[in-house]
Amino acid sequence: MSKTIVVIDDSESIRELVGLTLESAGYSVEKGIDGKDALRLFDNREVNLVITDLNMPHIDGIALIREIRKMEAYSMVPILVLTTESQAAKKEEAKAAGATGWIVKPFVAEKLLAVVQKVIR
């Protein structure tokens, strides 16, 4: 059975690009358009990895990470932040919220897949 990755980004083109990259490597992908929309995907279904943007409307990436970490079923699921942000303070805030790793946009497909393979369970 393929591993399921939830991808959350308010940019449709990024969601599609990340989704295609992951699906071409054999992963199953669920997508959310922002943090609020993504929360519907955490309904006790199996999720092996979360990749989220940081700056999104309604619920941003940091708040989303905090919400996911509150859910017992998902408290140990790796969460990667995929964003244009690169400030150390933002990285620390994401890490404190429970993020596992950080990838800066634009991403290289091979590097994204290498990080995914490293953290996915």
Domains of the chain plus CATH, in order, are 4-119 (3.40.50.2300)
pTM, rounded to two decimals: 0.96
Distance CA 109, CA 37 (A): 25
Contact 9, 56 (CB under 8 A): yes
- Is 87 buried (19+), middle (13-18) or exposed (0-12) by CB count in 10 A? exposed
pLDDT of residue 1: 64
What does the pLDDT look like over 7-55, one tens digit per residue? 999 999 999 999 999 999 999 999 999 999 999 999 999 999 999 999 9
- Regarding predicted confidence, which is higher, 121 or 89? 89
Distance CA 2, CA 19 (A): 14
